[in-house]
Structure 1
Amino acid sequence: MSDTQTLIENRPPSVAALFLERVAATPDAEAYRYPVPSASSEGPDDWKSLSWTQAADRVYAIAAGLIELGVQPEQRVALASSTRVEWILADLGIMCAGAATTTVYPQTNAEESAFILADSESKVLIAEDAAQLAKARDKRGDLPELTHVVVIDPVGVESSEWVLTLAELETRGAAYLEKNPDLVKEKVGAITKEQLATLIYTSGTTGRPKGVRLPHDNWSYMAKAIAATGLVGQEDVQYLWLPLAHVFGKVLTSGQIEVGHVTAVDGRVDKIIENLPVVQPTYMAAVPRIFEKVYNGVAAKARAGGGAKYKIFQWAAGVSREYAKATQDNFRRTGTASAPFGLSAKHKVADALVYAKIREAFGGNLRACVSGSAALAPEIGFFFAGAGIHILEGYGLTESSAASFVNPGEAYRTGTVGKPLPGTEVRIADDGEILLRGPGIMEGYHGLPEKTAEVLESDGWFHTGDIGELSPDGYLRITDRKKDLIKTSGGKYIAPAEVEGQFKAVCPYVSNILVHGADRNFCTALISLDEPSILGWAADNGLSGKSYAEVVAAPATVELIDGYVKTLNEGLQRWQTIKKFKLLPRDLDIEHGELTPSLKLKRPVVEREYKHLIDEMYAGSREV
């Protein structure tokens, strides 16, 4: 048996057990960093640290506090909060109590929050602040199981028999531990691998969310498998801003506990650019939208610098893509990431002029980024790869505990999601669907045996709903969602995500694009633009002072985007080309239900919302 197999097969039953092991192994090492807003609203945040022992003191107090509130093993404790260090401490506290975490996105409205709390039969809710508390209070009559709400940020919150602060819970828990010092060790020791650890409700693109049941063994396996990839080590510093209510963010906390590196936690997306030079991470996980925004921002800044600067940027972008493709291809063939002499010389010049500044903006120490949750446009991936920001694409679903595939370090291949994690099996069905099997696969959907049976076979194979292909040496490429494939009225199949990804690489102003064409005789697109980028362009093109809606309605803007659509079409098959498009009066967002919290497009919602624009584009065509 290999060392990797031994590591994975001899895993403990829970991440709670791994946490106790980590605290014992490196008690004084730094575990977490977190921001504390400075006294001056203008000044930068102060960053504080917790050692593993300090984190454990709080985790055990939370666990004991929940037990004192009457929480029993496998009972659900809901967490409705943005990404912050208290989220991690609370989640670990819930697990160390033997209970299970129900994750709730803080953006979820009161009605859907109430559905999740009721469906999961959550006994306690740990809410971030008064706004999250209000959602539960408004629906209290529909939540007979909910006995207490614990509030992390107590501003504007009055304690009562039903409501207490996290500080109060920890104080009560610490007092309870004094009388029962072995309580947490006993509770963790009693956890079995089959016990429920987490209930994550898929935001989904249609209908009510489904609760995905992930037992303790899923997370213990993920922790060991992530460590076994060798991608992260104890000296690493992770910058964690992803939503922890999402499986992608949550899995990163398991891997960190096993490896023992530092994690800097701050979920404020608007602070990413400011935080990177402060945190100076060695690795960071993100969704493609973040890389797209950085790319658009760099391009817009170059354009604002004048024609000469923009030409240098365009030249450097071309060199970076060419260099990345050459080095990856050479590594595949020879095991050495080298490029021809002439290209290397150009790359060195471009590095001094452009790439070094980009790396500096990421903090200067970044070894690699992991990208997941949706497809990254290959041309954007190649751009960053050539600039020295190595984006390792990965793949997984809520139902597979997030990390099923990841690109293997130096041998990464842009445009693929890499190879399966150790212990995960994959096969491609006859219709191209990706099937997965292994210790990361969910137990099933909560209270929905029929839905579970639709995707989970009796022999353990899980139907992902994604279409993909495997290279002879095991790299997976995702081509589309099975249900998202478009079949035109002419009988041609089109993968909209592929066309959308290509457009994002071509047009530096795009924020979101939806390609439509099912049962139609040609394809159209709904396009929303990145507000800062397009307003920057507008200021230089006679539209200064106009609102976003006015800018996108201007004929000059439509003409600008039309040029990029024509460029896109040049690289597509005839039946894939975008014949018509409409610019949306505002960007798509989570608040209007058009994007999931992990920034995936909800196609049915967008198509329903903008049906009038789609109908306009097909009006007068032969099919109408």
Structure 2
Amino acid sequence: MDARRSFDILAHQLEKFPKPDALAGKPHGGTYAPLSSQQVQDQANLVSLGLLKLGLQRGDKVAIISLNRPEWLLADFGIAQIGATSVPMYPSITVEDYKYIFTDAGVRAVFVSDKHLFDKVKEATADLDIPAENIFTFDKVAGARPFSELLALGQAGNPADLEPLKAAVQPDDLLTLIYTSGTTGQPKGVMLSHDNILSNCRNSSTAVPVGKDDKALSFLPLCHIFERMVTYLYMLHGVSIYYAESMETIADNLREVQPSIFTTVPRLLEKVYDRIVARGHEQTGIKHKLFFWALDLGLKYDTQKDQGFFYNTELALANKLIFNKWREALGGKLRCIVSGGGALQPRLARVFWAAGIRVMEGYGLTETSPVIAVNGYEKQDNMIGAVGPLIENMEVKIAPDGEILTRSSSVMKGYYNRPDLTAEAIDQDGWFHTGDIGEFVNGKFLKITDRKKEMFKTSGGKYIAPQVIENKMKEDPLIEQLMVVGADRKFPAALIVPAFDELKKWASQNGVAAKSNAELVKDEKVVKLYHDLVKKYNQGFAQWEQVKKEALLPEHWTVESGEMTPTMKVKRKVITENNQQLIDELYERAEREPHERQAH
């Protein structure tokens, strides 16, 4: 693989795997419109030449704010070819966040997808030094400059003029500034060079189980390093990339595109699994029995263990009778799913593997471009519950306090304008401190046990690792979201958001009249149901780790409410502040209960 700068990927694909459908988007209500490898190169050149006509040059910062579509990549490569730096941002963040990032990065031009985002950007740039004529929209929007106008500007230029500019770009030059929202504080700009991301592609290359005859469906945000790096990897291996229209249309798009692979975050896989199980509950008689027989078999699956002739024979039958329908629902040609961005519940990996869909869970951070470890496509290289073997040329050591430290050519250049934070994160020997606690299992597989910053001490001096407890309890189909609290308190407690669809089914079967969410979480039978669930899961934990009190919440935590990051991680500080009174009441009630019992 000879690509050393991001845009070398285009020449590599043209030479090795020229494709009629390198990228394919689906305009609103239309059909998939493919772009060939040659068209992608030509249009990226037009973006570069158009930006030069606007007066942009090497080192300038250009923002991209859009859901996934071919134009995102055209902008990305076009920016890189002139030695400028892309600043990708989540469409879902606030106007204040846009304003902060535009200012901190010194953004000079912006690409946005649609009217909604154009309006947000206009508001964010009202007092900033970004000319209105430097804001381009991928959709046609009244009062805005369309992307087609930038391409037309580029047509007046000469592609040969780009060659010296491309030649001047070095592998160590800054390719992109990715602002991580984090769970606290202002966003930080992670500086990634061409070589940071491309070395990660090279070192992950042997784990890629797809090639020139395969298609991928892309829906995880391209502004996130995981999907961006995987996109580069797809292109280097000649995989055609089709973009989902939206998160709501993924099921339809899977059937249309029939991909071999897609990447996901655990939350989406949980939703797919919950939908499948809900359909199983709707079955009656023999169909119902067969479904749950197959599901139980799937939940026992283990990549690291041959469970013998009888189990394997039953599983083959389950695949013919039940699991083949799962594969059809996912397009019929899906071979594997790559999961990242958070801990995957082992039961999901087990069931999908059993159903002939291999789940490759991986681990990494924006700061590491991102992959550190990934489970393989073959059973021997895949351990359910771990995040896999290290990728090639990756150093990892476990610090005395259990923190995972890593060193490689994929580790970022640093945090933009923040040498203080860079020095905190990367020590003098070049080890990046991940903030995750982990261990090696069987000498080969890395396993994450918790976030260092999220661990807390009870007032009795015992350490609690909340993620371990949360991930276990969230395996229950009645629990949608859960956060363990209890720093400096006598014991851990939990805030629980029920899975309301499942809860309403339970309510109708157990004599609880259908009510609003707010009424359901106060119903005595419902409160007891969740108390008993917590007691059941507590049995797997040491005495001091057990959740002693829980409170049910009527509203989901969302990115829009400010309680989740765009990568669907809980913002513990925000959720705690929003529910401080409720948390205080939980502990006050616990203090009162022994006295109340004595009084009786």
From 423, 445, 451, give the equivalent of 1:453. 423
State the TM-score, normalized to the length of structure 2: 0.93
Q: Is residue 25 from structure 1 mapped to residue 16 from structure 2 by the alignment?
A: yes
- CA gap 1:517/1:47 in 2 versus in 1, 3 angstroms: same
**Structure 1 residue identity aligned to 2:17:** T
Shift of residue 511, structure 1, vs aligned partner: 1.8
Q: Is residue 168 from structure 1 mapped to residue 142 from structure 2 by the alignment?
A: no
Aligned residues of 1:393 and 1:417 also touching (Cα < 8 A): yes
- CA gap 1:146/1:307 in 2 versus in 1, 3 angstroms: farther
From 259, 265, 284, give the equivalent of 2:237. 259
From 324, 327, 332, give the equivalent of 1:359. 327
Aligned mates of 1:418, 1:213 — CA distance in 2: 26
Aligned residues of 2:24 and 2:34 also touching (Cα < 8 A): yes
Q: Is residue 375 from structure 1 mapped to residue 343 from structure 2 by the alignment?
A: yes
From 562, 565, 572, give the equivalent of 1:593. 562
Aligned mates of 1:560, 1:309 — CA distance in 2: 28
Aligned residues of 2:118 and 2:137 also touching (Cα < 8 A): no
Match of 1:88 in 2: 73
Shift of residue 84, structure 1, vs aligned partner: 1.8
| 3-state DSSP of counterpart to 2:93 | coil
Match of 1:101 in 2: 86
Aligned mates of 1:306, 1:616 — CA distance in 2: 44
Shift of residue 158, structure 1, vs aligned partner: 1.2
Aligned residues of 2:49 and 2:159 also touching (Cα < 8 A): no
Match of 1:274 in 2: 252
Q: Is residue 390 from structure 1 mapped to residue 358 from structure 2 by the alignment?
A: yes
Shift of residue 564, structure 1, vs aligned partner: 2.5
Aligned residues of 1:569 and 1:578 also touching (Cα < 8 A): yes
From 406, 409, 412, give the equivalent of 1:436. 406
From 231, 239, 244, give the equivalent of 2:222. 244
Aligned mates of 2:58, 2:211 — CA distance in 1: 33
1:196-235 superposed Cα distances (whole Å, 9 cap, x missing partner)? 1000000100000000000111122122223233433222
Aligned mates of 1:483, 1:91 — CA distance in 2: 34
| 3-state DSSP of counterpart to 1:621 | helix
**Structure 2 residue identity aligned to 1:35:** K
Match of 1:143 in 2: 128
**Structure 2 residue identity aligned to 1:318:** D
1:432-484 superposed Cα distances (whole Å, 9 cap, x missing partner)? 11111111110000000000000112332100000000134321000011011
- CA gap 1:541/1:146 in 2 versus in 1, 3 angstroms: farther
Aligned mates of 1:292, 1:373 — CA distance in 2: 14
Aligned length: 591
Q: Is residue 525 from structure 1 mapped to residue 494 from structure 2 by the alignment?
A: yes
Match of 1:115 in 2: 100
From 301, 306, 329, give the equivalent of 2:304. 329
Shift of residue 428, structure 1, vs aligned partner: 0.8
Aligned residues of 2:304 and 2:382 also touching (Cα < 8 A): no
Match of 1:41 in 2: none
Alignment of 1:205-216 (within 5 A): 205-216=183-194
Aligned residues of 1:227 and 1:258 also touching (Cα < 8 A): no
**Structure 2 residue identity aligned to 1:471:** V
1:557-576 superposed Cα distances (whole Å, 9 cap, x missing partner)? 33333332232122222222
Match of 1:580 in 2: 549
Aligned mates of 1:496, 1:353 — CA distance in 2: 39
Match of 1:42 in 2: none
Match of 2:162 in 1: 184
Shift of residue 429, structure 1, vs aligned partner: 0.8
Aligned mates of 2:560, 2:441 — CA distance in 1: 39
Match of 1:296 in 2: 274
| 3-state DSSP of counterpart to 1:528 | strand
Match of 2:6 in 1: 15
Aligned mates of 1:33, 1:555 — CA distance in 2: 52
Shift of residue 491, structure 1, vs aligned partner: 2.4
**Structure 1 residue identity aligned to 2:173:** Q
| 3-state DSSP of counterpart to 1:46 | coil
Aligned mates of 1:593, 1:558 — CA distance in 2: 27
Aligned mates of 1:621, 1:534 — CA distance in 2: 26
Match of 1:550 in 2: 519
Aligned mates of 2:584, 2:531 — CA distance in 1: 19
Shift of residue 267, structure 1, vs aligned partner: 5.7
**Structure 1 residue identity aligned to 2:153:** R
- 349-358 vs 109-118, which moves further: 349-358
- CA gap 1:403/1:356 in 2 versus in 1, 3 angstroms: same
- 302-311 vs 441-450, which moves further: 302-311
Match of 2:50 in 1: 65
Aligned residues of 2:21 and 2:37 also touching (Cα < 8 A): yes
Shift of residue 186, structure 1, vs aligned partner: 2.7
Aligned mates of 1:359, 1:28 — CA distance in 2: 27
Alignment of 1:29-44 (within 5 A): 29-38=20-29
From 509, 512, 529, give the equivalent of 2:478. 509
**Structure 2 residue identity aligned to 1:570:** Q
| 3-state DSSP of counterpart to 1:478 | strand
- CA gap 1:166/1:156 in 2 versus in 1, 3 angstroms: closer
Match of 2:597 in 1: none
Aligned mates of 2:471, 2:527 — CA distance in 1: 20
Match of 2:464 in 1: 494
1:398-432 superposed Cα distances (whole Å, 9 cap, x missing partner)? 10011121112212111111122212211111111
Aligned mates of 1:396, 1:545 — CA distance in 2: 43
**Structure 2 residue identity aligned to 1:591:** E
Shift of residue 76, structure 1, vs aligned partner: 0.6
Aligned residues of 2:210 and 2:260 also touching (Cα < 8 A): no
Aligned residues of 2:375 and 2:389 also touching (Cα < 8 A): yes
Shift of residue 65, structure 1, vs aligned partner: 0.8
Aligned residues of 1:248 and 1:402 also touching (Cα < 8 A): yes
Mark the runs of 5 or more structure 2 residues left unpaired by the alignment: 594-600
Aligned mates of 1:153, 1:381 — CA distance in 2: 37
Shift of residue 311, structure 1, vs aligned partner: 5.1
1:319-360 superposed Cα distances (whole Å, 9 cap, x missing partner)? 1122x22xx223xxxxxxx43122123323333343222222
| 3-state DSSP of counterpart to 1:204 | coil
Q: Is residue 614 from structure 1 mapped to residue 583 from structure 2 by the alignment?
A: yes
| 3-state DSSP of counterpart to 2:220 | coil
State the TM-score, normalized to the length of structure 1: 0.90
Shift of residue 143, structure 1, vs aligned partner: 1.7
Match of 1:413 in 2: 383
Aligned mates of 2:471, 2:351 — CA distance in 1: 14
Aligned mates of 1:366, 1:152 — CA distance in 2: 34
